[in-house]
Amino acid sequence: MILPTKHIKLSKSLLGVSAELLKYLNEGQTVTSLWGNVSHLPEVRTFERFTLGLDFLYSLGVVEFENGLLRRVPK
């Protein structure tokens, strides 16, 4: 479920969900505002997939959570 396979489309994998979340993290946002912006996306669909996508990005070191805001980690 993390990576797409022959039987799992990219849009249904956590990699696809995480990619969609990154599109909306150009500037710092709260978790609630990010959820409000992406909850309508078919890749995200549920709060569970949303949180798993955020956890995946955080574990890879791509996003950080500081002072109540989610941000992309500078390159």
Is 2's pLDDT higher than 80?
no
**Within a 13 Å sphere around the CA of 70, how many CA atoms are in the beta-carbon half?**
22
Q: Is residue 3 part of a domain?
A: no
The beta strand positions in 1-75, using DSSP E, are 63-66, 69-72
For the stretch 29-70, pLDDT in tens is 999 999 999 999 999 989 999 999 999 999 999 999 999 999
pLDDT-derived band at 8, boundaries 50, 70, 90? confident
Task: Indicate the pTM of the whole model.
Answer: 0.88
Cβ-based neighbours of 41, under 8 Å, separated by 6 or more: 20
| Residue 17 to residue 22: CA distance in whole angstroms | 9
Q: Is residue 39 part of a domain?
A: yes
Q: Number of folded domains in the chain?
A: 1
DSSP letter at 5 equals -
User: Taking the CB of residue 50, how many other CB atoms lie within 10 A of it?
Assistant: 21
Q: Is residue 38 part of a domain?
A: yes
